[in-house]
């Protein structure tokens, strides 16, 4: 394991365009449940009830959605960045990060200190709410206060349109700008590091493949095996925080 950590550190030191791709395994180490795992949100709710079209067309669906979204947000708002988030932010400060592409909606890369322009949030963010009509943006805590006061479905102050967390729901189109940029950054990377992703949710999971096909070295750091392990130049099946802290320690010492 130590030899693998040393090898990743060396690749970081000698790469010019490093892209880090993050999934739910990174968030779980900050205490945020993986909603797909046993005991997660999808054990208590049926995902099919939360398709975007249902949200658009039914007040009852919007009410159920906000009940679920409020439950999810409770686990997100108090979460703190873990060692892996902090290591990724430090790589930016050391000039060794092109961008971080994340499937997570928890905003922990922002909290860790990464620059907003270095963060590509493929599935949106739970920290804001948007009006589906006029696109006015609200701070999530402001809307949570309304929910706590008994409002079951919040609406826009300006146009009366339905409000929805700024996350991507089932059946909702991926954000075009972010998706396009993520593919472009992946294809031009020379080192692509996957951290905490099972690499099964498409289209995001195809980005390591894009990077590899365009000549990048592929590293996968994940607790469990992924479908792309056989394509990777190096696989580490271990916790993200401990692994990234070990890698960063070597990178720092070499750059000192």
Q: What is the pLDDT at residue 71?
A: 84
33-78+124-167 has the same fold as 1-32+81-122+175-256? no
89's tokens:
């932010």
Which residues make Cβ contacts (< 8 Å) with residue 92, sequence separation at least 6?
113, 114, 115, 118
The rounded distance, in Å, linking the Cα atoms of 228 and 205 is: 9
Which residues make beta-bridge pairs with 131?
163
pLDDT per residue as tens digits for the range 47-80 = 667 789 989 998 999 999 999 899 889 889 989 9
pTM above 0.85, yes or no: yes
Residue ranges of domains in the chain: 1-32+81-122+175-256, 33-78+124-167
Of the candidates 109, 123, 135, 230, the residue annotated as catalytic is: 123
pLDDT at 202: 82
Is residue 230 part of the annotated active site? The answer reads no
| pLDDT, tens only, 162-187 | 999 999 988 888 889 999 999 999 99
Fold exhibited by the domain 33-78+124-167: SIR2/SIRT2 'Small Domain' (3.30.1600)
Residue ranges in the chain modelled with pLDDT below 50: none
Taking domain 1-32+81-122+175-256, whether its CATH number is 3.40.50.300 is answered by no
């Amino acid at each position: 394991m130590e030899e693998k950590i040393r090898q990743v550190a060396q690749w970081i030191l000698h790469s010019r365009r490093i892209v880090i791709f993050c999934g739910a395994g990174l968030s779980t180490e900050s205490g945020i449940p993986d909603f797909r795992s046993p005991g997660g949100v999808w054990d208590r709710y049926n995902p099919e009830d939360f398709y975007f079209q249902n949200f658009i067309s039914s007040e009852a669906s919007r009410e159920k959605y906000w009940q679920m979204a409020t439950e999810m947000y409770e686990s997100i708002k108090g979460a703190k960045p873990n060692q892996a988030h902090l290591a990724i932010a430090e790589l930016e400060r050391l000039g060794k990060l092109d961008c971080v592409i994340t499937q997570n909606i928890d905003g922990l890369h922002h909290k860790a200190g990464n620059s907003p322009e270095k963060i590509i949030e493929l599935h949106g963010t739970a920290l804001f709410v948007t009006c589906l009509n006029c696109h006015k943006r609200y701070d999530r805590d402001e809307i949570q206060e309304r929910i706590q006061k008994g409002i079951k479905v919040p609406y826009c102050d300006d146009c009366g349109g339905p409000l929805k967390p700024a996350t991507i729901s089932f059946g909702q189109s991926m954000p075009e700008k972010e998706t396009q940029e993520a593919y472009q950054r992946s294809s031009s990377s020379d080192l692509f590091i996957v951290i905490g992703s099972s690499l099964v949710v498409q289209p995001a999971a195809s980005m390591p493949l894009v990077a590899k096909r365009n000549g990048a070295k592929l590293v996968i750091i994940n607790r469990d095996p992924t479908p792309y392990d056989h394509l990777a130049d190096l696989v580490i099946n271990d916790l993200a925080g401990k692994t990234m802290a070990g890698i960063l320690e070597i990178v720092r010492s070499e750059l000192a």
